[in-house]
Each structure stands twice: as C-alpha cells, then as structure tokens.
Amino acid sequence: MLFLLSPAKSLDYDTPVPEGLPATQPVFSTQPAELIDTLRAYAPQDIASLMSLSDALAALNVARYATWKPRHTARNARQAVLAFNGDVYEGLDARSLSHDDLAWAQDHVAILSGLYGVLRPLDWLQPYRLEMGTRLPTAHGNNLYQFWGPAIAEHLNTLQQGDTAPVVVNLASQEYFKAVDRKALRARVVECVFEDWKGGAYKIISFHAKRARGLMARYAITQRAQSPQALEGFDLEGYAFAPGASAPDRLVFRRRTEGDA
C-alpha cells in the first residue's frame, strides 16, 4: 500500500537534521532540470505574475532557481520530509519518528511535487516554489499536468509492481492528485476524508483536514499499515472512523470536540 502526500509551500532549512539520517537522490532527474531551465528565463516580475506571489517571494524564488543544482548534496539540500513545513508535515512530525519508521516510510510514502514529480521522504530536496497547478508552458504543453503526463502514475506503478492487489491511499490535495493519470495507474485508489463538527454538521475544515492527512500518514507509518482496513483504527487527536458515512474506497473520519456548536 502506498500513501500519497502533497508538498508544502513553507520550507525549513534551519532546524538541524537528526544525526545519522540517510538521504537519497530524487527519483526523477531530467524533468526537474528541464523545469528549472524554463523557470530561469523568467524575470522576478514574471514569476510574481505566474505564481501570484509578492515581489519579495518572487525574487526569493528566482534566486533559488539560479542556484539550483542537478546534483543534490548535504550542502544544498535536505530530506524532503524534513524540508517541507506546512500543516500536513506538522501532523506527520517526521522528526519524532524513528529511523526504522522513516525507512518504512521511504518504501510506502510518496510526496507529489510540481518540480520533482514524486519524492520519497528521504530524497534530497533543494528549496523551490512550483505548485502543480501552475500554468507553466513547456515543450510538453501549457501546464504541469501536461508536462508530467503519465510519468507520475507509471512511477507509482513501478513502486508497487510486486503487489498482486496494489492500493494507493490518497492523502494529497486534488490539485496534486490530478497529476496522477488515473488511466495509467493500475492501483485501486482509496480516499481518506476528515470532518469536524461545526455549526450543527460535520464539515471538511481545510486547516484541520490538512493536519489530519499528516496524522494519518504518521499512523500508517507507525502501525505499518498494509491494508485500508488497517486504517480504520486511526484515532489520533480525537478522530474516529465513521463506518456509516464511509464506503470501501472512501474512508471518513470524524471528530467532535468539547465546545463545538
């Protein structure tokens, strides 16, 4: 079983990396280099317009593209699961996982990326900004979905080629999961939905749902989950499986805390 995550916009290259943690080269190499070459042709004001960024963020990322290197090392990169620093990764809290946990995650977690396509948790990651939904024209089309085509799905197939009944658990956003060509993907897809009680009904609240995706990934890693049924025991931070609201390929988890109206 393979778990998909989105990347995060926020990055952390300041907190020290746990001692002795291994790292690996990204699985795709030519495509990121090609995208960086494309991005280097853009001036800061063009990047600001293309990605709806402030002038300061646009200038920062132009500088990142200028210094990006095809070869990733400890001097210019860090492990992806430690570099990403958004709500999902706060829920995952990779720094508190053991080396054995992270070794398991390396084989069972895939992080989708506009620049890198697919990253394993311990793959080197250089600082960048390139959302999957960016309309960046290349020789392959007008956006990143056309750029990546079936390559991401085919790689996911390769990761599960030894499984007789492969399953992908989607914990990524729809923006990123759209980059997985469903026609090319051989695996069964299971979605996890996280709802909180608010205003008299259960609703998906973006901030909480993002954190819960990271919590679910953490649960799967620590429990060594091998089937969708193994996820039904997820109970972190007050969530519980809601069988009546779920379906075989859509697992719903709900939470109602004190003080919720």
> By C-alpha distance, which of 97, 93, 78, 92 is closest to 22?
78
Closest CA to 242 of 256, 226, 260: 256
* pTM, to two decimals: 0.96
Q: What are phi and psi of 249, to 5 degrees?
A: -110, 15
pLDDT tens by residue, the chain, 261 residues? 999 999 999 999 999 999 899 999 999 999 999 999 999 999 999 999 999 999 999 999 999 999 999 999 999 999 999 999 999 999 999 999 999 999 999 999 999 999 999 999 999 999 999 999 999 999 999 999 999 999 999 999 999 998 999 999 999 999 999 999 999 999 999 999 999 999 999 999 999 999 999 999 999 999 999 999 999 999 999 999 999 999 999 999 999 986 665
Q: How does pLDDT run across 179-220, given as a tens digit for each residue? A: 999 999 999 999 999 999 999 999 999 999 999 999 999 999
Q: Whole-angstrom Cα distance, residue 144 to residue 14? A: 29
Assign 82 to helix, strand or coil: helix
Q: What is the average pLDDT score of the chain? A: 96
How far, in Å, CA of 224 to CA of 36, rounded?
36
pLDDT for 162 equals: 87
pLDDT at 258: 66
Q: Mark out the alpha helices in the chain (DSSP H runs).
A: 30-39, 44-51, 55-67, 80-83, 87-92, 99-108, 144-148, 151-159, 174-177, 206-223
